[in-house]
A and B are shown apart, each in its own frame.
Chain A
Amino acid sequence: MTTTRSRHRLTITGLLGPFIVLFTLTMVLPLVYAIYESVTGIQRSGAFGQGGSSPVFVGLDNYITALGASAFVASLGRVLLFAVVQVPVMIILATALALLLDAASAWGVRFFRSAYFLPYGVPGVIASILWGFLYTPGLSPLVNFGSALGLNLDFLGGGSILWSIANIVTWQYAGYNMLVIVAQLKSIDADLFEAASIDGANAWQVITRIKLPLIRPAIVLTTVFTIIGTIQLFAEPLVLKPLSSAITSSFTPNLSAYNEAFANNNYNLAAAESVLLALVACAFSFGFLKLVTRGGSSS
């Protein structure tokens, strides 16, 4: 090492510093501030609050209020139900598509791969506007097609709206998740397939004994990101809200926090709801990681 101690420190500061400063300002500080806001309340002095207001420590009051509001608790339950159904559907679809493409026994593999990945470039709100049109009776060829077959398709009703949203999210991200899995499939050592074919393994055995175990890390990664993404559900219900009376202002926790902050000006309650949402997201993604690392085979 020709570097002196202080030069070494300068290098580290120069390389790591810019990221750490931005990271602290835009992620750590807001998180700390959200926690501070969530344990604070506004105390008004004077008979009608005309004496001004000052923040006071209220402990867990905001959390108790948030968890005491049935609409917020229902919204948490709604996104959890959404995640429980949508995450497996999306991951299974992405894995199946990746395996089919990798089997390479189809025509036009490159075309199909592009077609599946394409929706990833469509912003969530634009995807929602698009599907919103496709769900609207009178505009939608799907609804028309359904009624021609004697089916009364109602994509925007209370019973179906959550799954209509799940469809938008799946449409957008299945191809992206597929690409992550395809990337991992491509990195499997060719010798393994050779050995398998010498041993007389059939296609199904190659998939279940070699491919699936080896793409596990990719599946775990995409699942965690999907869990974090679905729990934050916001843009899709917001865009579909004018179309469907089933979407309330607290349809998802994020919508609830947004409305609490900007419609009701209750930033403290909104902060508590945001922190709760982050906790739920972390609990589920870490819980999932724990589950797969404990129960999984070592690969």
Chain B
Amino acid sequence: MTTTERAYTGKKGKNQSSKQPSTVQKPRKIQRSPGWRILVTAALAVAAVYFLFPVYWLTIAATKSTSSLFGSSGLALDNPQLLTNLVNVVTYDGGIFGRWALNSVLYSGVGAVVATICSLAAGYCLAKFTFRGREVWFNIILAGVMIPGTALALPLFLLMSQVGLVNTYWSVLLPSLVSPFGVYLGRIYAQAAVPDSLLEASRLDGAGEFRIFFTLVLRLMMPAAVTIFLFQFIGIWNNFFLPLVMLSDQSLYPITLGLVQWQSVSDRHPELYQLAIGGAFLSVIPIMIAIVSLQRFWKAGLTEGSVKG
């Protein structure tokens, strides 16, 4: 246990020292005139307007009735009726939107958890065990990072249809369980954060290899785990091509596919414009809150990934 803690603090200590530049620099720079500071802030503010403007528009648009959506300025409120609109979104077509949201959570949640554990186990194995063909496997997996996901969707559809899995939860879930980038990140992280001496000590204590992995290694690799989980979750949540190819049953759709369907028929059914906007608003807001509040976790593994990239 004490060794574990030392490994933990050792890692933390390194992170702290690596964070120092931003705090230590501050008083040192001479050329920080107020004019310069205003200039930099202004540049950053212009960029912020660009990134936030569509979100602002979406928020305003989500409060409008179908007629004022087309009849009033897109930048200002006009008889806001956000609640009515959102109720319309979640009750339309027998509450299909809630079903899509649950499906998205299922695909992303289950997919990301399994992908994270499998990637960490594989990454740890490739980092800490020597066996024949280790580097070959690692290079094959690395090549997998380079393969465009959409190039695999069509053959996957054909294979899935041969085993009767097309248009089932499995057809979207199975390909979501794999993250070659996670293995890459996991290996680099295990090399840095899992000390050999600790593994040896646990083995001498008589702990089995799988117990060592699940109780000790997983804990040491937690920062990498969170990063892999978040990336995989967002990746699956945002995925569109795979469910589009695989699914024909509306009740299996994730949100992305459902909203595109609403949007694509909205030229014939104008009321769907408002539903697509309200649905986009409902699906984007929780993810944005999650992204901002979990922001510090995005960095932990990112550096490890790019250092040797």
Contacts from A to B (Cβ < 8 Å): 2-3, 7-9, 11-12, 14-16, 18-20, 22-23, 25-31, 33-34, 37, 97, 100-109, 111-127, 129-134, 138-141, 144, 171, 174-175, 179-180, 182-184, 186-190, 193-194, 197, 202-203, 217-218, 220-222, 224, 228, 231-232, 234-235, 238-239, 242, 254, 257-258, 261-262, 267, 270-271, 274-275, 277-278, 281-282, 285-286
Contact = CB atoms under 8 A, between A and B. Distances in A.
Contacts of B303: 183-184, 186-187
B252 interface: no
Nearest to A219: B306
Interface stretch (B3-11, B77-85, B87-95, B117-125): B117-125
A107 B41 CA distance: 6
14 contacts: A11-B125, A16-B122, A19-B122, A112-B44, A121-B284, A130-B54, A183-B302, A186-B299, A190-B20, A194-B24, A203-B29, A218-B306, A221-B309, A274-B150
B306 A184 contact: yes
**Interface bin, chain B:** 35 or more
Interface in B228-250: 234, 237-241, 245
Given A193-B25, A217-B309, A285-B146, 19 more contacts: A7-B209, A15-B121, A18-B118, A18-B122, A27-B152, A31-B147, A33-B159, A34-B155, A101-B44, A114-B295, A118-B55, A122-B287, A123-B237, A129-B260, A140-B74, A179-B299, A183-B299, A228-B146, A234-B240
A277 B37 CA distance: 46
A184 B41 contact: no
A203 B25 CA distance: 11
Interface in B204-261: 204, 209-210, 213, 234, 237-241, 245, 255-257, 259-260
B40 A116 contact: no
A3 B260 contact: no
**Interface of B, helix, strand, loop or mixed by DSSP:** helix
Nearest to B141: A23
Given A129-B259, A133-B277, A19 B150 contact: no
Given A30-B155, A102-B22, A22 B118 contact: yes
Tell me whether chain A's interface is mostly helix, strand or loop, or mixed. Answer: helix
Contact of B288 (A121, A262, A285): A121
A214 to B, nearest CB: 10
Contacts of A194: 24, 28
Given A15-B124, A118-B288, A129-B280, A105 B51 contact: no
B29 A25 contact: no
A254 B240 CA distance: 13
B217 to A, nearest CB: 10
A217 B69 contact: no
Contacts of B61: 133
B305 interface: yes
Contacts of A138: 70
B280 A242 contact: no
Contacts of A275: 151
B291 interface: yes
Nearest to A97: B47
A187 B192 CA distance: 15
B178 A115 contact: no
A116 B53 CA distance: 11
Contact of A271 (B155, B183, B280): B155
Nearest to B283: A126
Given A100-B44, A115-B51, A180-B302, A14 B209 contact: yes
Contacts of B204: 2
B144 interface: yes
Candidate in B22, B61, B149, B277 with the most chain A CB atoms within 10 angstroms: B22
A7 B131 CA distance: 13
A235 B178 contact: no
